Chains A and B, each alone.
Chain A
Amino acid sequence: MEVLTLLGHGFGTVFQPINLFLVFLGSILGTLFGALPGLGPINGVAILLPICYTLGLPVESSLILLSGIYYGAEFGGRISSILLNVPGDAGAVFTTLDGYPLAQKGLAGPALALSGVASFIGGTIAIVGLTFFAPLLATFAIDFGPSEYFVLMVFAFATVSALMGSNPVKSLVGVAIGWMIGIVGVDSTTGVMRFSFGEAELYDGFEFLTVIVGFFAVSEILLMLEHHSSEHFAMPKITRIYVTFKEILYCKWTILRSSVIGFVVGVLPGTGASIASAVSYTLEQKLVDKEGTFGTGDMRGLAAPESANNACAGGALVPMLTLGVPGSATTAVLLGALMLYNINPGPMLFVDQPVLVWGLIASMYVGNIMLLVINFPLVRVFTKILQVPYWLLVPSVIVLAFVGVYSVNSSTFSLGMATLLGVLGYFLRKLHYPMAPVILGFVLCEIMEDNLRRAFAMSGGEADIFFKGSINITLWILTLAIFFVPMISKFISKKYALGKK
């Protein structure tokens, strides 16, 4: 049990007063960054990193603070999703689907509290996984080559096809539009510029944050105007601010399954919280949503993406710490933090920097508990947001969102893009095009294209590369199962019903 001894040393590092304070600070700041629309983990970490460095904090303290902001933001991202239908960050897009309907039913309090619990469980499962299985998982991640990533994306698409449900044409339009937005910018294989119109600011394509702010914050505000102008406008009432134990138990399997899915997706470099929450949400929809209540304010539909995106944040640290490869955009900045301190991340990190690594892991245990404890009293405060009058709330939301977009690359061009996407998003939503497929198209298609073409470059154009190896075969079987199991089960239950007659 060498791990436990090392973890014990890690707790020794965390319980130094300064570090304990930084865990606390990171949790609070992270929650705020996550909660404010347009400001997500990536801004939080990118903004605080130069400050930590300038203040001369030691590297383990910096990393404790920065990663606190990272998982704190995943934790806080749910708040504006639930209350305002504006996701605080990318991972929280799927939280809007059931979170906002719950708030409209007057259940904002229980929704916030339950998602806090789900986030805590997801986060904690991920840290336990990180503590005990990191080296093992690293070898698993290494086995994923381009062909495996491609088949994984096929699997992801098969899972989320459930989202296409009621209106397949308009859902697919959403995917196509997200796909197109993802295409803009330099082609990562040939270096050819695609649809960048000679604008230097478009060379790297659309920033994720700009897309989220445009499609969700700006378009939501344009829609709010309408509800606001109508005669029957009334803010949802808040009935209670706690979650019952029964409600938590009702979601227990959903939370556990989604946590594991989120963690595994997080471990794979290049995937992120949005994929983790999409897959877990739609999988739960397939597994437990017998009455078709997902999307109308189902507690399980809220718990699934929240436990998944917090677990994903923990999972993303596995390749970062064991291989020196970022598991997500935010961990890429965290890796940069190490470089700034002249630590070259790589497989030797666990050996060369035990204080740093185990201090960080221990801090995450402490941080998650802090987040949960801070969370409950804050539910009352956050639900108060619903009582802020629109003439103050709406301009504040838009200014914060735009400051977030601006801070990514100090450019007003991105502000214009957010407005443009906001107008497009307004029309899409007005004409009943669902928005979740747009985000999926944006995220999944890019990973799909890159890896499809990488795999072809490796195989010299042969397609058999996608059917070689046990990971590929397993993923294909799972994909087929996703398609056929519901059909078969429907068939069997029909037969059973007929037999009964």
Chain B
Amino acid sequence: MNKALRFVTGVLAVVALSSALHAFEPKKPVCLAPAKPGGGFDLTCRLVTNSMLAAKLMDKPMVVSFMPGGVGAVAYNHVIGQRANDPETIVAVSTGSALNIAQGKFGNHDENAVRWLAGLGADFGAVIVKADSKWNTLSEMIADLKANPKGFALGSGGSIGSQDWFKAALIAKAAGIDPKEMKYVAFEGGGEALTALLGGHIQIYPGDIAEFSGQFDSGKYKVLAVLSDERLPGKFKDLPTAKEQGFDVVWTIWRGFYLAPNVTDEQYNYWVDVLQKLVKTPEFAKERELRGLFPFTKIGKEYDTFIKGEVAKFRVMAKEAGLIK
């Protein structure tokens, strides 16, 4: 009996020692995509899981699991409520989620409820019209909108308060129109809005450039402006920004990740380190290009500060638009 006890304590001591010697490393790393397979968050997860595998930075392959609902609200509540200590799971997040957090649409939780890990890629807004539209520049379009605010319908894939709507609202503002007074039609996803544009049911589609790239070469549409700070590389290099046409409208759709609220600093730092290493590899750069994303890298503390700034900014915008009190 005594011997057995001594043996057990001995084993326990060894186990404790060895686990103290080895720093944290996930046994079953998971990327949680708060969307259906193939959705935007799935693509965000694949950016990390694919390049991580290719660059061989982790012993275990990372798997993607799915939890759709409310632009990430379901996953946010689930992680905070049921997996608060889980250090194995990183969860995908984007501008759309931050907007909803700012408007209180993530339940009782605000932006301080999780640990923000990293932003790893971005897409940018774009002003898209039909190929046979009379407008060739953003200025022409805005001038027409100014002259006749109710004459043209803007339409995109989201409700009032979504990131699609905010793009439309910023364009309306640039034309001196109160966003409440513009003509706006909310469709179910960008694809439906593009189809409505093609059918002449709406005249202006404020979309996202990477999401649009499949339609880019079809010759059916014109891009009047991209909503980025500088011109974009590659096949989009000839597209003028809104800024250079004299309208200060920029819209970045960043894509990133967060960790559960109660992970230890050691666990958090493990992820920060491994992602720091990852973004320097050519495998990551290649995967990012394949996903149609533009460089945007903020990791650890920098990302945390960035997100909190974004949510604060969105809160002001939502208040201005009368969406929250």
Question: In the complex, is A directly touching B at CB under 8 Å?
Answer: yes
Residues of A near any B CB (own CB < 8 A)? 46, 49-50, 141-146, 186-191, 193, 198, 200-201, 203-204, 269-270, 319, 323-326, 332-340, 342-349, 408-411, 450, 454, 457-458, 460
Check A411 against B46 for contact (C-beta < 8 Å): no
Q: A325-B191, A326-B191 are in contact. Are A333 and B214 (CB under 8 A)?
A: no
B250 interface contact, C-beta 8 A: no
Which of B46, B68, B186, B199 interacts with A189 by CB under 8 Å?
B186
A203 near B69 (CB under 8 angstroms)? yes
* Contact indicator B66/A145 (Cβ below 8 Å): no
Known: A145-B199, A323-B191, A454-B185. A336 touches B39 (CB 8 A): yes
Instruction: Name the contact of B183 in the complex, choosing from A46, A324, A348, A458 (C-beta under 8 A).
Output: A458
Residue of B nearest to A47 (CB): B37
Q: A141 touching B218 by the CB < 8 A rule?
A: no
A–B Cβ pairs within 8 angstroms, 9 of them? A46-B36, A50-B64, A142-B198, A193-B105, A333-B38, A336-B38, A345-B214, A348-B215, A457-B184
**A-side contacts of B66, CB under 8 Å:** 46, 50, 409-410
Q: Other than the known A145-B196, A457-B185, what 16 A-B pairs have Cβ atoms closer than 8 Å? A: A46-B36, A142-B198, A144-B199, A145-B199, A201-B69, A270-B192, A326-B191, A336-B42, A338-B38, A340-B42, A342-B290, A344-B292, A408-B68, A411-B67, A411-B74, A458-B183
Instruction: Mark contacts of B285-305 with chain A using CB atoms, 8 A cut-off: 1 yes-contact digit, 0 otherwise.
Output: 000001110000000000000
What per-residue 1/0 map shows which CB atoms of B47-71 lie under 8 Å from chain A?
A: 0000000000000000011111110
B135 within 8 A of A: no
| CB pair B194 A325 closer than 8 Å | yes
Bound-state CA distance A347–B130 (Å) is 14
Whether the Cβ atoms of B38 and A49 lie closer than 8 Å is yes
Q: What residues on A are CB-neighbors of B64 within 8 Å?
A: 50
Q: B195: which of A198, A325, A333, A339 is its contact (CB, 8 Å)?
A: A325
Q: Check B74 against A200 for contact (C-beta < 8 Å).
A: yes
Bound together, the chains give a CA A143 to CA B195 distance in angstroms of: 9
Contact A188 B69 (CB under 8 A): no
Q: Check B162 for interface membership: any CB of A closer than 8 A.
A: yes
Q: Mark B174-197, 1 if CB is under 8 A from A, else 0.
A: 000000000111111101101110
B150 close to A (CB within 8 Å): yes
Contact flag A344-B220 (CB < 8 Å), given A46-B36, A50-B37, A323-B191: no
Contact of B319 with A by CB under 8 A: no
A145 neighbours in B (Cβ, 8 Å): 196, 199-201
Residues in B neighbouring A454, C-beta threshold 8 A: 185-187
Q: Name the one of B70, B161, B202 contacting A203, with C-beta atoms under 8 angstroms.
A: B70
The answer to whether B160 touches A189, judged by C-beta atoms less than 8 angstroms apart, is yes
Partner of A200, one of B36, B46, B107, B194: B107
Chain A residues within an 8 Å CB radius of B117: none
Residues of B within 8 A of A450 (CB): 188
Number of A-B pairs, beta carbon distance below 8 Å: 156
Residues from chain B with a CB closer than 8 A to the CB of A339 are 38, 43
A325 to B191, CA, bound (A): 5
- Number of interface residues, chain B, beta carbon within 8 A: 59
If the complex has contacts A145-B199, A409-B68, are A460 and B73 also in contact, measured as CB distance less than 8 A?
Answer: no
Interface string of B150-167 (1 = CB under 8 A from A): 100100001111100100
What 4 pairs across the A-B complex have the smallest Cβ distances?
A336-B38, A344-B214, A203-B70, A346-B214
Measured between C-beta atoms, what is the minimum distance from B59 to chain A in Å? 18
Given the known interface contacts A49-B37, A146-B185, the answer about A458 and B201 at a Cβ–Cβ threshold of 8 Å is yes
Once bound together, how far apart are the Cα atoms of A144 and B198, in whole Å? 11
Given contacts A326-B191, A458-B201, contact A337 B38 (CB under 8 A): yes
Collect the chain B residues with CB atoms within 8 Å of residue A323's CB. 191, 194-195, 198
Interface status of B320 (Cβ within 8 A of chain A): no
Closest B residue by C-beta to A338: B38
| Chain A residues positioned under 8 Å from B107 (CB to CB) | 198, 200
B214 to A, closest residue via Cβ: A344
Question: Which residues in A have their C-beta under 8 angstroms from that of B185?
Answer: 146, 454, 457-458
Interface check B257, CB cutoff 8 A: no
Least CB distance from A300 to B in Å reads 35
User: Who on chain A is nearest to B103 by CB?
Assistant: A191
Q: Are A201 and B153 in contact (CB under 8 A)?
A: no
Is there contact, CB below 8 Å, between A143 and B69? no
Q: Is the CB of B36 within 8 A of A336?
A: yes
Per the bound structure, the CA–CA distance linking A216 and B323 in Å amounts to 40
- State in angstroms the CA–CA spacing of A325 and B199 once bound together: 13
Known: A345-B214, A346-B218, A457-B185. A409 touches B159 (CB 8 A): no
Whether B76 is near chain A, meaning CB under 8 Å from some CB there, is yes
**In the complex, chain A residues whose CB is within 8 Å of the CB of B150:** 460
Contact B194 A348 (CB under 8 A): no
Whose C-beta in chain A lies nearest to the C-beta of B43? Answer: A339
Q: Closest chain A residue to B210 by CB distance?
A: A344
Q: Contact between A324 and B191 (Cβ–Cβ < 8 Å)? A: yes
The CB with the most chain A CB atoms within 10 A, among B194, B195, B323, is that of: B195
Tell me if B161 and A409 are in contact (CB < 8 A): no
If A186-B70, A336-B36 touch, whether A458 touches B202 (CB-CB below 8 Å) is yes
Do A340 and B46 have beta carbons less than 8 Å apart? yes
Assembled-state Cα–Cα distance A326/B38 (Å): 13
- Chain B residues within an 8 Å CB radius of A345: 214
B213 within 8 A of A: yes
Q: Is B78 an interface residue (CB 8 A)?
A: yes
User: Are A346 and B215 also in contact (CB < 8 A) when A270-B188, A325-B194 are?
Assistant: yes
Return chain B residues, CB-CB under 8 Å to A201. 69, 74
For the complex, what is the distance from the CA of A197 to the CA of B215, rounded to whole Å?
A: 40
Residues of chain B within 8 A (CB-CB) of A49 are 37-38
Chain B minimum-CB-distance residue to A50:
B37
How far is it, in angstroms, between the C-alpha of A186 and the C-alpha of B106 when the chains are bound? 12
Query: Hey, what's the 0/1 contact readout for B75-97 against A, CB within 8 Å counting as 1?
Result: 01110000000000000000000
B217 interface hit (Cβ, 8 Å): yes
Query: Chain A contacts of B217 at CB under 8 A?
Result: 348
B196: chain A residues within 8 A (beta carbon): 145-146
Please determine whether A188 and B188 come into contact, CB atoms closer than 8 angstroms: yes
Bound-state Cα–Cα, A410 to B213, Å: 32
Closest chain B residue, CB of each to CB of A335: B38
- Per the bound structure, the CA–CA distance linking A427 and B129 in Å amounts to 52
A144 to B218, CA, bound (A): 21
Q: Are the C-beta atoms of B38 and A146 separated by less than 8 Å? A: no
> A459 CB to closest chain B CB, in angstroms?
9
